[in-house]
Amino acid sequence: MDAIFTVPEPRNEPPREYSPGSADRERLQRRLAELAGAPTDLTMTIDGQQRMGGGAPINVVQPHQHRHVLGVMHNASNADAEAAVTAAVAAAPAWRAMPYEDRAAIFLRAADLLAGPWRDSINATTMLGQSKTVVQAEIDAACELIDFLRYNVAFGRKLLAEQPMSPPGVWNRFDHRPLEGFVYAITPFNFTAIAGNLPAAPALMGVPVVWKPSPTQQLAAHITMRVFEAAGLPPGVINMVTGDGLAVSEVALAHPELAGLHFTGSAQTFQLLWRTIGENITRYRNYPRIVGETGGKDFVVAHPSADADALHTALIRGAFEYQGQKCSAASRAYLPRSIWEGGLRDRLAATADSLTYGDVTDFRNFGGAVIDARAFAKHSAALDMIAGSDSCSVIAGGTCDDSEGWFVRPTVVECTDPEHKVFTTEYFGPILGVHVFDDDRFEDVVRQAEGVAPYALTGAIFADDKRAANWASEVLRYAAGNFYLNDKPTGSVVGQQPFGGARASGTNDKAGSWHNLIRWVSPRVIKENFVPPTDHTYPHMG
């Protein structure tokens, strides 16, 4: 075809409400029952073929009811990883030769399949496997994943249109070449959207992928892979391997064709992977692109002029939605004494104590369980440490119970020492540290909060005094990659608040934006001279 295509103008997928008695809710409830009823074989997908991994079996369970097995996968072995890398490398020439518009059409179709016939399946698997309530599943697995797919197509098109200038007689062009080789995408448990976007973004730009989802997100990842296939993705373009990833990394990170790492997860895992790439640096044909979005210790700072009602809602939602398991979750708050003692303390404690956490298929619950036994043990140890700490007093929660599911009560802990671990360590659970300050110490507190934690992912300022808000925004300029004024620090929307942070929080390549897509291309510049010179001498030579 001879044409310069435009791509459809993206718009954010509107979230559905699932109100009692609605057809949407009834259909989703039927799908939840079907998926909970029979365990799924959680296969790998290599070169378009589904098969079980060659290593040890791993169960996927419902975190809120951990005896209930939803599916079984097997760890990918070294041989499985070799097969996945071989399939990706073999798929590369034909995939990068496919015009951008045709690759884009596959991902736009995947978005529409998710918005329509696959919506209940992706939401139900995310609810059951990751213990998300319906609203948390809907904004993640349906809306955000759909948005990533649609917006990336538009951002990728803009990137390809980016061209150098050409003076008279010359035509300069950018050939935005897909990276040579394959990208290794490793994804976290907490967002189905991130899990789907990390393999899809490099694939859209023409680079085949080996994708290793988190074992605890594998049920929804299994559905995501089926959606990509249903949308027409050719075999070998995205190869999904299952399990803990140790054997996969042994193969993929030592492979000469490793073109990039697309990672989201903890800072510790990212640092290990980066170190391994460094150790293998002489093996690669190209220097691998390393993109990693990692942890956070996200703050809310209130000025004495803040609206206490808005602050209360932001703290509850920001800290306790999805059990605090968002990298963006508010986990430290700095609150002026006038607001705290003027009622916020009691109200926050009462609201936190009233939040119901339980089986997410009961739509009345505010939240579910934390993801697994390891997370539960980490939170339980943190609560013990807090209980034994002289400078801390627990004003809500502080307890946990793993008899049925891995439940941790939403916890608010007031700490007088602003350097306490509760203000520096990412627990990735429903634990909010609060430091209360005398109103005239606002500036000191902001300066201290700026650098006390190693992370710089999200943060929020609450203030009606615009001068104070502007001052704090300047001081905190490098303390958060996503910064909010009078809003909670969670809930970024693709196309509106591109997401990512710096310092220990990652490479800040902003998922769902051209900043990210540019990492998967390696431009070639072509200069074409229409009238090349035919005399090698210069005027100054006389």
Mark the segment that binds ligand NAD (CB under 6 A) among 131-139, 148-156, 238-246, 403-411. Answer: 238-246
Please pick, from the candidates 249, 323, 361, 411, the single residue that binds ligand NAD as defined by CB under 6 A.
249
Mark the segment that binds ligand NAD (CB under 6 A) among 105-113, 242-250, 377-385, 433-441. Answer: 242-250
The answer to whether 435 and 443 are in contact (CB under 8 A) is no
Q: Could you tell me the smallest distance in angstroms from the CB atom of residue 215 to ligand NAD?
A: 6
293 near ligand NAD (CB under 6 A):
yes
Q: Could you tell me the smallest distance in angstroms from the CB atom of residue 327 to ligand A1AUG?
A: 3
Q: Which is nearer to ligand A1AUG, 491 or 523 (CB)?
A: 491
Q: Which is nearer to ligand NAD, 288 or 304 (CB)?
A: 288
Quote the CA–CA distance of 495 and 513 in Å, as a whole number: 7
Q: Which is nearer to ligand A1AUG, 436 or 456 (CB)?
A: 456
The answer to whether 389 and 420 are in contact (CB under 8 A) is yes
Task: Find the binding residues for ligand NAD in span 425-464 (CB under 6 A).
Answer: 426, 428, 457
62 near ligand NAD (CB under 6 A):
no
66 near ligand A1AUG (CB under 6 A):
no
Quote the CA–CA distance of 518 and 510 in Å, as a whole number: 11
Please pick, from the candidates 10, 53, 202, 295, the single residue that binds ligand NAD as defined by CB under 6 A.
295
Mark the segment that binds ligand NAD (CB under 6 A) among 36-44, 196-204, 291-299, 525-533. Answer: 291-299
Task: Choose among ligand NAD, ligand A1AUG, none what residue 214 binds, the Cβ cut-off being 5 to 8 Å by kind.
Answer: ligand NAD
What CA–CA distances, in Å, run from 430 to 62, 216, 337, 408? 18, 19, 23, 7
Quote the CA–CA distance of 374 and 370 in Å, as a whole number: 9
CA atoms within 13 A on the CB side of 178: 27
Q: How many residues bind ligand NAD (CB under 6 A)?
A: 32
Nearest to 208 by CA among 324, 366, 84: 84
Task: Find the binding residues for ligand A1AUG in span 299-338 (CB under 6 A).
Answer: 326-328
Q: Could you tell me the smallest distance in angstroms from the CB atom of residue 391 to ligand A1AUG?
A: 29
- Which DSSP string do the residues of 188-218 spell out, in sequence order? -SS-HHHHHHHHHHHHHTT--EEEE--GGGH
Query: Which one-letter amino acid corresponds to residue 281?
Result: I
* H or E stretch covering 352: helix 345-354
What CA–CA distances, in Å, run from 37 to 30, 31, 34, 373, 481? 11, 10, 5, 23, 42
What would the x/- binding string for ligand NAD be over residues 499 to 538, using CB under 6 A?
xx----xx--------------------------------
Nearest to 242 by CA among 179, 195, 207: 195
Task: Find the binding residues for ligand A1AUG in span 176-195 (CB under 6 A).
Answer: 190-191
CA atoms within 13 A on the CB side of 65: 13
Nearest to 178 by CA among 137, 208, 149: 208
Q: Could you tell me the smallest distance in angstroms from the CB atom of residue 216 to ligand A1AUG?
A: 14
Quote the CA–CA distance of 387 and 31 in Å, as a whole number: 42
* Catalytic site residue from 13, 138, 144, 293: 293
Task: Find the binding residues for ligand A1AUG in span 480-519 (CB under 6 A).
Answer: 490-492, 499
DSSP3 helix / strand / coil % (the chain, rounded to 5): 40, 20, 35
Please pick, from the candidates 103, 119, 176, 212, the single residue that binds ligand NAD as defined by CB under 6 A.
212
Q: Which is nearer to ligand NAD, 123 or 242 (CB)?
A: 242
Q: Which is nearer to ligand A1AUG, 75 or 490 (CB)?
A: 490
Catalytic site residue 82? no
Contacts of 116 (CB under 8 A, 6+ apart): none
- How would you classify the pairing of strands 455-456 and 502-503? antiparallel
Active site members: 293
Binding stretches for ligand A1AUG (CB under 6 A): 190-191, 326-328, 490-492, 499
Binding stretches for ligand NAD (CB under 6 A): 186-191, 194, 212-214, 244-246, 248-249, 264-266, 269, 272, 293-296, 327, 426, 428, 457, 499-500, 505-506
